[in-house]
Amino acid sequence: MSKLRVHNFAISLDGYGAGPRQTRENPLGVGGEELHGWFVVTRAFREMEGKTGGTTGPDNDLAKRAGERVGAWIMGRNMFGPVRGPWPDDTWRGWWGKNPPYHAPVFVLTRHARQQIKMEGGTVFHFVTGGIHEALQRAREAASDLDIQIGGGVSTVRQYLEARLIDELHVAIAPILLGSGEALFAGIDLPALGYACTEHVTTPAATHVVLARKA
């Protein structure tokens, strides 16, 4: 069976995956962009942007696992965009322009129905109103024997963790403090849910931890 994975999910030293006061102009909240300083300089990230160059080494090795053998994606509505409540119109089509980096079906969790959006490069956004289990079922059907990756944000990852549905989670701990924001692990008893650390790599830019769920 395909796996449900999370990769390159950055958090601060004090555990926040996004900073406070998120806005359309500041989608990751105050200080949130700094969480991804380790990632945006890697060769893997630059290749995603259609560019050359970038750093190699352990940060890049872990970064490039994202998207490998992935046949579908799941994300929360906040990850898709800043619009709240019922969709006012069809103008908002994501943060990523005409050709998002997913190149596969993407299932967006939302309480408000919306028609699917076909983008360039094979990305199709589907809007799921039935919750995390419906989104996962539809993603598994779309992915076939490939894996499903959760793109974020914090709330979505937490819901799947608490339901013990994530098979593998790569967290990159950035050497910064945010003070407040959206905490990834607060109140979640990971050992009780069957999660354990299976990989640990430290670089000057981040501390990488891979958690896996016991069978």
Mean pLDDT of 44-58: 93
pLDDT of residue 50: 86
Return the CATH number at 68: 3.40.430.10
Residue 91 counted as domain residue: no
Q: Residues 172-209: pLDDT tens digits?
A: 999 999 999 999 999 999 999 999 999 999 999 999 99
Domain count, the chain: 1
Instruction: Give the distance from CA 111 to its chain's centroid.
Output: 19
- 104 within 8 A of 122, measured Cβ to Cβ: yes
Q: Residues 115-167: pLDDT tens digits?
A: 999 999 999 999 999 999 999 999 999 999 999 999 999 999 999 999 999 99
pLDDT of residue 163: 98
Residue 108 counted as domain residue: yes
Domain span at residue 33 reads 4-18+27-83+99-213
pLDDT of residue 37: 96
- Give 18-26 contacts, CB < 8 A, sequence gap 24+: 18/153, 18/154, 18/181, 18/182, 19/178, 19/180, 19/181, 20/178, 20/179, 20/180, 20/181, 22/78, 22/82, 23/82, 24/82
Residue 94 counted as domain residue: no
Residue 64 counted as domain residue: yes
Residue 129 counted as domain residue: yes
Residue 118 counted as domain residue: yes
pLDDT of residue 29: 87
Residue 92 counted as domain residue: no
Q: Residues 55-88: pLDDT tens digits?
A: 999 999 999 999 899 999 999 999 999 888 999 9
- Give 89-93 contacts, CB < 8 A, sequence gap 24+: 90/114, 90/115, 90/117, 93/117, 93/119, 93/125
Does residue 1 register a pLDDT over 80? Answer: no
Residue 90 counted as domain residue: no
Q: What does pTM read for this prediction?
A: 0.95
- 111 within 8 A of 129, measured Cβ to Cβ: yes
